[in-house]
Amino acid sequence: MTSISDPLSLTHGPDWRNRLALAPLTNTQSNSDGTLTEDETRWLEARGEGGFGLVMTAAAYVAPAGQAWGGQLGIASDAHLPGLERLAERLRATGARSSVQLHHGGRRADPTLSGRPNQCPWDDPDKNAVAMTTGEVEELVADFVAAAVRAERAGVDGVEVHGAHGYLLGQFLDGRNNQRTDGYGGSLDDRLRVVLEILEGIRGATGPEFQLGLRLTPEGNGITLDEGRETARRVLDSGLLDYLDMSLWDVFMRPRGGAEGLLIEHFTDLPRGGTLLGVAGRVLSAADARWCLEKGADIVTVGIGAILHHDFAARAVADEGFVARTGPLTREELRAEAVGPAFIDYLAAGWDHVVA
C-alpha cells in the first residue's frame, strides 16, 4: 500500500521525497511590485525544512491586469526573477521540490491595482469587467507561457496553472456565463480550449525536466460536477501534465449538488495514464493524508495544517498518529512557525480560529 513517506516519480523532472505538497496559500507577503520579501521566502523555506515533498508559492500573477490583491506575488516580468532565483536556491537546499502557481484574477482582479477594467470572458459590469477580445485571449496564453519560462529560468522545478476557484481560467470553464462565439466559449470543448492551449504552450516552451501541474475546482462557479469530472478526465488523459491538483475544499465532503458518494470518489476512479492525481482540503492529520491515498490519490496537498506546523510533513511521516494542533494560535506562536506579520494580519481578517 502507498505510504505518505514514499518517494514520488513524475513524468518530468526530479522525484519528490514524499507524497505531501504545500498548498498555494494566499499570504499577501510580497512587495507592492510583486517581488518576494524575506518574510515570504522564509515562510516557504521553512516548509521545505519541515519535510514537504513539494513547496508551492501562492498564486503569482502572470500579467499586471491579473493582480487580484495587494501583496500578491508576481511572475509577470523579469523584475520578479531575482527573488524567485533566491527562493529556488533556498528550497533546493532543503531537499524539497519547488513550484510557482501561475494565476490571473480575471473578473476577480483588483482594477485599482492595474488601473484598467478587469478582464473576463464576458461583460460583467458588476465586477467592472469587460469581455476580452480574441487577441487578448491569445495574449493571455502567451502571458502564462512566458511566466512558466521565467520560472524555469529562475531554477524552479515546475509550475502549477491555477484553473480553480472562479479566477480567469475558471471563468472560461463557467458554463452558465461563458457563451463566447470565437472558439473560447459555449461548448465544453471550446471553454476548455484556453486551458489546453496554455498547457500545450508551457510544455512546448520548457525543457523535459520541468514539471507541470494544474489546479481545478470539481464543481461550483458555473461548473457542474459532471463537467468538472469530464474536464479532469480530459486533462488527465492529455499527456501534458505531471499532476492534476483537485481543490476539494474538504476531502471528506459530499458533492454540493446532491450526487452520491464523496466528492473525492468522483475523481479518484478516473483513468490517469502517467498523470498523478492530487487532492486538497482540510487535511489535518497523518491519518487524513493516509486516507486520501487509500481512496486513490497520489498526492496530498496541505494548507491550514502547514500554517499551524511548518513541519507538518515531517511530523506526519514520522508519527502515524500525528494530529495538527487546534487553533487559534497567538501571533507569537505563528511567528515561530515562520508566518510573517502581513500573513498573520490576512489570516486574522478572514480565517476563523487561526489567530488568537
**pLDDT mean over 135-140:** 98
The reported pLDDT for the residue numbered 257 is 83
Residues in the chain: 356
The reported pLDDT for the residue numbered 234 is 98
The x, y and z cell numbers of residue 306, run together, are 502547514
Q: How far apart are CA 182 and CA 187, in angstroms?
A: 11
pLDDT tier at 23, thresholds 50, 70, 90? very high
Name the packing angle between helices 134-154 and 81-94 (round to 10°).
Answer: 50
Distances in Å between the Cα of 275 and the Cα atoms of 12, 160, 240, 319 are 10, 14, 8, 29
Catalytic residues: 167
Could you tell me the fold of the domain covering 20-325?
TIM Barrel (3.20.20)
243 Cβ neighbours under 8 A, 6+ residues apart? 10, 211, 213, 214, 275, 276, 277, 278, 298, 299
Q: What is the DSSP string of 136-180?
A: HHHHHHHHHHHHHHHHHHHT-SEEEEEE-TTSHHHHHT-TTT---
Let me know if 164 is exposed, middle or buried by CB neighbors in 10 A (0-12, 13-18, 19+): buried
State the chain's mean pLDDT as an integer.
Answer: 97
The x, y and z cell numbers of residue 216, run together, are 481545478
The x, y and z cell numbers of residue 7, run together, are 518517494
Backbone angles phi, psi at 292, to 5 degrees: -60, -40
pLDDT tier at 352, thresholds 50, 70, 90? confident
**pLDDT mean over 187-209:** 98
Cell numbers 491519518 label which residue?
287
Q: How far apart are CA 84 and CA 152, in angstroms?
A: 10
pLDDT tier at 258, thresholds 50, 70, 90? confident
Instruction: Note if the pTM is more than 0.95.
Output: yes
